[in-house]
Amino acid sequence: MLTLSWPGGPLRGTGRLPASKSEANRALLLQKLAGGGTLTNLSEANDTVLMQRLLTQATTADYLDAEDAGTVMRFMTAYLAATGWRGLLTGAARMKQRPIGVLVEALRALGAVITYEEAEGYPPLRFGGQPVAAPASGPAELMVRGDISSQYISALLMVGPTLPGGLRLRLTGEVGSRPYINMTLSLMEHFGATATLGPGETITVAPGGYRPADYEVESDWSAASYWYALVALAPPGSAATLPGLRARSWQGDHVIQQIMHPLGVETEFLADGGAYLRQVPLAPASLLAQPLDFTDCPDLAQTVAVVAAALGVPLRLMGLHSLRIKETDRIAAVQAELRKFGADMPEVAPGVFEMQATDFKVDNQEINTYDDHRMAMAFAPLAVRGPLRVHEPQVVRKSYPSFWRALAAVGVSVGD
């Protein structure tokens, strides 16, 4: 357990961010399929280290463990199917509770031989060693729901250029997490693939594979959200510099800059790269006109919810459906932990949650993290409002292993 506290005064300093694991894990897979290229500024996140390791091990091993990494499980499932791997892909206990049936059924439709080792529709997965056998005369046709995890869609798109006739993917219903799909398409194009958007939410990926390319991974906007929270909640006059962020980003979570401006943080992009965050007066009226929709940026929801609660802003949130099947049920987890501070986030209409805080106070509460890195980091910024303790602080290794060191570097007291 870690004890966090703030000595007082404005927060000032530089927040050292990890590289984007969303970009890194996509780039690693595309680099492998392209057969070359140099990647720089790879994420230190465990998910990225794990992705690198499994891509290397897949050439010789018949047993791979994706641990608790959703992107690794989904991306590796498509990669292993496309390359005709034979063996077992498993994961942590929680991973075995996260559905993967939609992706498996799509790959089976392309000719892959994949069976469920335990529960139907869930990992572990056994691969029969037969590569996908899509038709060569034209693109393989798949229809996939758009409201599922975008990781399924990205996984299918990335193996599309390796199919003899390419891939035509039609998304049905409401499409969630669209920025992650756009990121995938942009990186595919960077590595030489051609994908076109057609009518009716149809994406056509041309055959021909990839070509080697170099790529520098951007710093992680999801990780930056915790620094926005720190600046918003810290004493007046607080500011922070975040290196490595781009004004024109492929990451959907860059919308944190727009979300947090009414909550008291202004963003200025620096000429030599990076962003400067400065605390400004609250102007929440624009946020209260209608619910804030996190469909395209679900990883920001916990952070924004905690900030709104601490500031006493009765924000309404929607588009949280995917949070139920993350590392934990993030909606239930946030609700449980907020109650410790005098706040709540009830569902006030179908799919709409309202932040309600009557007497929000930080005073040595203990935060349970539920084996979820984002729970730890979303609640940690409350330390600038009062002392608190965080259980299982090591969970941050999944995406931001240096998080506690980064907080200590700007003056947060971090102790056992």
Which structural domains are found in the chain, ordered by start?
2-18+219-415 (3.65.10.10), 21-216 (3.65.10.10)
Q: pLDDT per position in the chain (416 positions), as tens?
A: 999 999 999 999 999 999 999 999 999 999 999 999 999 999 888 999 999 999 999 999 999 999 999 999 999 999 999 999 999 999 999 899 999 999 999 999 999 999 999 999 999 999 999 888 767 678 999 999 888 888 999 999 999 999 999 999 999 988 877 889 999 999 999 999 999 988 889 999 999 999 999 999 999 999 999 999 999 999 999 999 999 999 999 999 999 999 999 999 999 999 988 999 999 999 888 777 789 999 889 899 999 999 999 999 999 999 887 777 677 889 889 999 999 999 999 988 888 899 987 789 999 999 999 999 999 999 999 999 999 999 999 999 989 999 999 999 999 999 98
pTM attached to this predicted model: 0.89
- Residue 175 near residue 184, CB atoms below 8 Å: no
Q: Which residues are catalytic?
A: 299
Contact call for residues 300 and 307 (beta carbons, < 8 A): no
**How far is 56 from 51, CA to CA, in rounded Å?**
9
pLDDT at 325: 64
Q: Characterize the bridge pairing of strands 195-198 and 140-145.
A: unpaired
Is the distance from CB of 375 to CB of 333 less than 8 angstroms?
A: yes
Binding-site positions for phosphoenolpyruvate: 21, 70, 98, 151, 330, 374, 398
Please state, in angstroms and rounded to a whole number, the distance separating the CA atoms of residues 250 and 187: 9
Rounded distance between C-alpha atoms, residue 355 and residue 348, angstroms: 10
> What is the Rg, in whole angstroms, of the alpha carbon atoms belonging to the chain?
21
**Residue stretches of the annotated binding site:** 21-22, 26, 70, 98, 149-151, 177, 299, 326, 330, 374, 398
- ∠ CA(190), CA(196), CA(198), 5° rounding? 155
Report the alpha-carbon distance of residue 113 to residue 126 in Å, rounded: 8
Torsion of CA 18, 19, 22, 24, to 10 degrees: -130
Which segments are annotated as binding site for 3-phosphoshikimate?
Answer: 21-22, 26, 149-151, 177, 299, 326
The residues, any chain, with a CB within 8 Å of residue 394's CB and separated by 6 or more, are none
Three-state helix/strand/coil letters over the chain:
CEEEECCCCCCCCECCCCECHHHHHHHHHHHHHHCCCCEECCCCCHHHHHHHHHHHHCCCCCEEECCCCHHHHHHHHHHHHHHCCEEEEECCCCHHHCCCHHHHHHHHHCCCCEEECCCCCCCCEEEECCCCCCCCCCCEEEEEECCCCHHHHHHHHHHHHHCCCCEEEEEECCCCCHHHHHHHHHHHHHCCCCEEEECCCEEEECCCCCCCCCEECCECHHHHHHHHHHHHHCCCCCEEEECCCCCCCCCHHHHHHHHHCCCCEEEEECCCCCEEEEECCCCCHHHHCCCEECCCCHHHHHHHHHHHHHHCCCCEEECCHHHHHCCCCHHHHHHHHHHCCCEECCEEECCEEECEECCCCCCCEEECCCCCHHHHHHHHHHHHCCCEEECCHHHHHHCCCCHHHHHHHCCCEEEC
Q: Which residue has the tokens 């999801």?
A: 222
Q: What is the pLDDT of residue 324?
A: 74
Q: What does the block give as tokens for 187?
A: 């990186």
What is the distance between the alpha carbons of residues 195 and 328, in angstroms, rounded to a whole number? 34
Which of these, 229, 254, 160, lies nearest to 403 by C-alpha position?
A: 229
